[in-house]
Amino acid sequence: MEKSKLRILVLVVFVGLISVGYLAFTRITSDNTNDKSKIIEQNISELNNTNIIAKFSDITPFDWDKAFIIEDPFLYEEAIDKLVGAKCNLDRLETDIKRRIVFVNEGKFVFDYIYDIRDYMYNYQTIELTTSSSIFVENGTGGKLVLKIE
């Protein structure tokens, strides 16, 4: 009888440790994603009405060599992977007011920046960006920022 109680106690402690580890990892990953998005948004905001054309890579807090502006919020994982040429494990967005920019480096997924189309309007010539692509930010109508990307 004592052995079965000990086994149950060990099992409960083990499951508890696994649960705490998972929650900690999830929180750290989520915070890191939010931090990167906030840095991008802050850098875009700082460019507003400065008449500065910046490299798109200068507004991101991570290394990448290609980025893809994905206008269709409802693309499924397989279509996103095919478009960017990397396994991203991203699913479709659940709303038509969100869009994404997917960043890759050396053929590997780096970051998925999701933005609200009510905040930004893009004026771009291409869907694929490189580190030499430029960004110019100015005020648009209705409080939106217009991001001119080439």
Give whole-number Cα distances, 79 to 36, 100, 114, 118, 130, in Å.
Answer: 24, 14, 17, 25, 20
Q: What dihedral angle (degrees, nearest 10) is formed by the CA atoms of 13, 16, 21, 24?
A: -140
Dump pLDDT digits (tens) for 65-111.
999 988 888 999 999 999 999 999 998 898 988 889 999 999 999 99
CB 147 within 8 A of CB 137: yes
CB 63 within 8 A of CB 106: no
Q: What is the domain count for the chain? A: 1
Task: Provide the residue range defining the domain that includes 59.
Answer: 2-149
Judge if pTM exceeds 0.85: no
